[in-house]
């Protein structure tokens, strides 16, 4: 049995199904992200695991123990909230020690464990500072230290990086992953940020309308999305009409209209080639400079496509330029209908 197991977990608010018959198995030491848009049920799922929201149906099993209806305090889980929830009148060390004091841990053990975890999150030199004297990233690490110091079996992260600016958020992604690997703690993180989930997770769970739509390793999820929703939500994708050729292989439809299939093709998988060559013809209608990349919008007979090319220092294509587009046939993905299943 997995270390953390959700079995048919559901939550209803009146006639509204917030989470529907969710099954998930998380192995010990694994880092799993719940990814999805607002209202998909990911935060409700995390809150049921933490014990903050009552379960309507199903079970939560932690290390062989049924904790479905256990009080939050008896579950022993570490939780990092989006707001960090630090005590402003307490120093960093006292904030971190708070959970241990509530558990009546001996003072000598508290001092030792606080020192150890502050070293882990690289805040030893800030032990006597107050939250108002810290940066956003430092406050986030204090919240993480406070969750870890109680030595929980599972760490729950509720969009922990959403209040940070872009550069600091990226830095803290890798800091969280470093700490998680060093401690070896089983971790479940809620996020709506696709890049965040893909970069630091062992597996990503995509949720839509209260249900899990796909669970996979980040690379496999990106390269082999199951549905149109996943293809468009996890990264960017061109949705193309397709048909089957005489050999049963998917191919892009060359004329306007719906195809028998919906195909997905990532913008970075498309090569821009000389007009008159390639699999599809088009015209550059606009371009955007993204620093390391150029993004082009290409008008074609089957609609507008997005193409991303690495910025290699050469002059970009001008708007109005006629181009051909080519791609390896094996990079086309056939998508299922946007249906969700328990």
Does one domain contain both 209 and 150?
Answer: yes
96 pLDDT more than 60:
yes
pLDDT at 34: 97
Does one domain contain both 241 and 225?
Answer: no
Supply the DSSP string of 16-85, one letter for each residue.
EEEEEEEEEEE-TT-EEEEE--TTSSHHHHHHHHHTSS--SEEEEEETTEE-TT--HHHHT-EEE-TT--
Average pLDDT over residues 294-298: 96
Can you say how many angstroms the Cα of residue 325 is from the centroid of all Cα atoms in its chain?
A: 31
- Give residue 229's pLDDT band: very low, low, confident or very high (50, 70, 90): very high
pLDDT at 171: 87
Does one domain contain both 317 and 187?
Answer: no
The string of pLDDT tens digits covering residues 27-69 is 999 999 999 999 999 999 999 999 999 999 999 999 999 999 9
Is 308 a domain residue?
A: yes
Lowest-pLDDT range of 6-10, 54-58, 309-313: 309-313
Lowest-pLDDT range of 88-102, 194-208, 229-243, 248-262: 248-262
At 250, which CATH number? 2.40.50.140
The string of pLDDT tens digits covering residues 101-155 is 999 999 999 999 999 999 999 999 999 999 999 998 899 999 999 999 999 999 9
Does one domain contain both 77 and 157?
Answer: yes
Does one domain contain both 175 and 292?
Answer: no
299 pLDDT more than 60:
yes
What is d(CA 236, CA 266) in angstroms, rounded to the nearest whole number? 6
Contact 242, 221 (CB under 8 A): no
Residue with more model confidence, 249 or 91: 91
- Give residue 257's pLDDT band: very low, low, confident or very high (50, 70, 90): low
Q: What percent of the chain has pLDDT over 90?
A: 78
Find tokens 């053990």 and name the residue.
Answer: 109
At 180, which CATH number? 3.40.50.300
Does one domain contain both 188 and 329?
Answer: no
Of 176, 194, 229, the position where a domain reaches its end is 229
Supply the DSSP string of 87-101, one letter for each residue.
-TTS-HHHHHHHHHH
pLDDT at 84: 82
Is 80 a domain residue?
A: yes
Does one domain contain both 62 and 210?
Answer: yes
Does one domain contain both 221 and 270?
Answer: no
Residue with more model confidence, 33 or 163: 33
341 pLDDT more than 80:
no
Q: What is the mean pLDDT of the chain?
A: 91
Is 342 a domain residue?
A: no
Domain that holds residue 264: 237-334
The string of pLDDT tens digits covering residues 189-226 is 999 999 999 999 999 999 999 999 999 999 999 999 99
Instruction: Decide: helix, strand or coil at residue 113.
Output: helix
Number of independent structural domains in the chain: 2
Contact 316, 303 (CB under 8 A): no
DSSP state letter for 39: T
């Amino acid at each position: 049995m997995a270390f953390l197991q959700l079995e048919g977990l559901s939550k209803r608010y009146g006639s509204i199904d917030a989470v529907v018959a969710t099954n998930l198995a998380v192995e010990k030491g694994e880092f799993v992200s719940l990814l999805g848009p607002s209202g998909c049920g990911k935060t409700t799922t995390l809150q049921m695991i933490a014990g903050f929201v009552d379960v309507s149906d199903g079970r939560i099993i932690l290390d062989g123990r049924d904790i479905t209806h256990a009080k939050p305090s008896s579950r022993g889980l570490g939780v990092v909230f989006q707001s960090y929830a630090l005590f402003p009148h307490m120093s960093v060390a006292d904030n971190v020690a708070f959970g241990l004091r509530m558990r009546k841990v001996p003072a000598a053990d508290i001092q030792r464990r606080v020192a150890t975890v502050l070293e882990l999150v690289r805040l030893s030199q800030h032990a006597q500072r107050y939250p108002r004297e810290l940066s956003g990233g430092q406050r986030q690490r204090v919240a993480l230290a406070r969750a870890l110091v109680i030595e929980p079996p599972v760490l729950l992260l509720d969009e922990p990086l959403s209040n940070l600016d872009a550069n600091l958020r990226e830095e803290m992604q890798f800091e969280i992953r470093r700490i998680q690997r060093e401690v070896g703690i089983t971790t479940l993180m809620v996020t709506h940020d696709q890049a965040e989930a893909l970069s630091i997770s062992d597996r990503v769970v995509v949720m839509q309308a209260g249900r899990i739509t796909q669970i996979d390793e980040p690379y496999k999820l990106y390269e082999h999305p199951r549905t149109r929703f996943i293809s468009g939500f996890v990264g960017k994708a061109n949705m193309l009409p397709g048909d089957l050729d005489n050999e049963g292989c998917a191919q892009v439809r060359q004329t306007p209209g719906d195809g028998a299939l919906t195909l997905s093709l990532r913008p970075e998988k498309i090569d821009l080639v000389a007009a008159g060559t390639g699999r599809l013809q088009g015209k550059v209608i606009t371009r955007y400079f993204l620093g390391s990349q150029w993004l082009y919008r290409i008008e074609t007979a089957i609609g507008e496509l997005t193409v991303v090319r690495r910025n290699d220092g050469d002059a970009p294509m001008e708007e109005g330029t006629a181009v051909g587009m080519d791609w390896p046939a094996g990079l086309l993905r056939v998508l299922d209908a946007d249906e969700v299943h328990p």
